[in-house]
Each structure stands twice: as structure tokens, then as C-alpha cells.
Amino acid sequence: MGSNAISSPKYLTGDSAAINEFLDKFDVFLLDCDGVLWSGDRLFDGIVETLEMLRSKGKRIVFVTNNSTKARPGYLEKLKAMGIPSDVDEIFASAYSSAIYISRIMKLPAPKNKVFVIGESGIEAELRSEGVPFIGGTDPSLRRDMTPEDFDKMADGSLLDPDVGIVLAGLDFHINYLKLSLAFQYLKRGAKFLATNLDSMLPMDGTFFPGAGSISIPLVNMTGQTPLTLGKPSQAMMDAIEGKFQLDRARTCMVGDRLDTDMKFGIEGKLGGTLLVLTGVHNQKHWEAEGAVAVPAYYADKLSDLRAAAS
């Protein structure tokens, strides 16, 4: 848990002196999106002004999201639609992180470098941009019930693509028995098991829905394998962010709403600080619980509370 566990988190809401001191410590803010900036398609009050304030103080902002359903251009559209000016290079999403890892780090030799995707178009777009071949994903032919013929053809291998060397699991709104069965067969035949992220829940519209981590659980259960995850809190993602942005970890703060992804990501990445906002999944009772996965250095009711800083 690191040194952050020794002292209790500093509460920033309503304390302008503490907020100024907090802001002075950091040059870069890594911002989670779901549960921090918005819930579903509802932008939290004061977010646009808060980001403008941070930028006006010369702070660098990087949007770091585990949501793999959109590629970076899709995220940029969402940010702009919400009134948040940004550019693609400020966005670091788990689908992008996964594509970079597969193409630039794993570098599996062709032809056994094809990816079987459980997920949405965001993963496909990022794989395509890195020149990684894939099947599955949003393929409409997989959105159906299993047939007796499917069982037979999976058993004898004739339904399987021999070039698949990786199974990449993300959030899939059309998950079904057919896709899980295909993924399992590839893993059983030696494909590498990757996940965009392992968030158990997706915060949306003021409630929660199954997250990407809940989609891959059946495969974990069947294979006994834990996938290599390319989203928070994976340090593979932190290394990629550091490499891309050339940031100084000691002057960087991770801002999020979850202990197990965001706070753990910042603490294990030895960042200068972590800020938990209470507009998403976790709160005080979670970090005060016995065996809490992480304890933030700072917390605030909501991100826009930082606007109480003196200009």
C-alpha cells in the first residue's frame, strides 16, 4: 500500500489553502473519465470550468480511461460534445494501450498474430490503426445462438481460425455463449490471454452495469488463467503513458473514482499523488475498510471543488 497508507487522505473540498498547495505540487493530471468528468452522457457540473482553470495554471491534462468501447477519435468527439476542448494526443484509453502493446511489445510473428476480439468497435479501430489483424468483435455473424453444428465444428477445430494467437477481452455489449466458446477454444490451443481492463462495473446514468472485467470472468473461470491487463492499474499502461508524454512521475497526480483501478494505478506507479473524487464508485468507507486495496493521498466531493483555488 506504500506510504500513503500511513496517514489518512487530505480532504480538499472547501479548503482553498489546501487546494492551492495541492495544485502547486503537480504539473500533470491524469484524469479518469467515467465517474470523474461524467456519468454515462451526463457531464458533472463545473467540469469544463475546472479543466480550463487547470490549463490556465499551465497544468497538462491526460484523459486516461479504461473504457475500451471507443477509440481515441470517438473519445475526442465525446469530449468535444461535452464542451471539453482536447485533442487525440491527450487521450489514453485501454483499447489504444492494448493495440500498442500487441503491435510494439508482443510483436508476434505473422501469420500467428491474429487477435480474436471480445469487445466493441473501439478495440477494432485501435488494432486497425496499428496494423494488427483481428476477427470477432462487432462481427454480426457472431450475434446469434449456438447451434449443434457450432459445437461439432469447434470440437474438430474447423470453425476456428488457425492464425489466432491472442484473445483480447474488453467490454462487449453483445457477449454471448458463442463468443465465449470461441475464445475458450483459442485459449485452450495456446493463444495469449489479454484484457483491455478488469473493471467489474461500468458507472452510467447514476447506477452501475457490468464492466469489462465481468465479461472476461467466464474465461478466467474456465482456463484458470488471469489475463494480462492493459488498463489501470496495470503498470504496462503507466509505462506507455510515461513514454508517450515524457512526464515526471513525482510531479504527476492520478485523479479517479476507484481505489482498485485509479488509486492503485497511481500508487503502484509511484506518482507524486492521488486524488479520489466521490462522484463514482468508491468513498471513505471503502478506503477505511480492513484490507482496502489502496488509500488516496487526497480526496474531494467532486472534481469541480478544485475551482476554490485562488487564481
Q: Which residues are catalytic?
A: 27
- The single residue listed with the C-alpha cell 488494432 is 127
CA dist., res. 184 & res. 207, Å (int): 31
Could you tell me the three cell numbers for 232? Answer: 489501470
Total Cβ atoms within 10 A of residue 269? 21
Residues 259/286, Cβ–Cβ less than 8 Å: yes
CA distances from 42 to 81, 171, 226 (A): 11, 20, 34
CA atoms within 13 A on the CB side of 134: 31
CA dist., res. 245 & res. 282, Å (int): 28
Selection from 6, 16, 90, 15 nearest residue 51 by Cα? 90
CA angle (211 as vertex; 206, 212 as ends), nearest 5: 155
> Which three-class secondary structure string do you get for 211-267?
CHHHHHHHHHHHHCCCCEECCCCCHHHHHHHHHHHCCCHHHEEEEECCHHHHHHHHH
Cα R_g (the chain), whole angstroms? 20
Residues 254/30, Cβ–Cβ less than 8 Å: yes
CA distances from 20 to 64, 286, 300, 301 (A): 24, 27, 14, 16
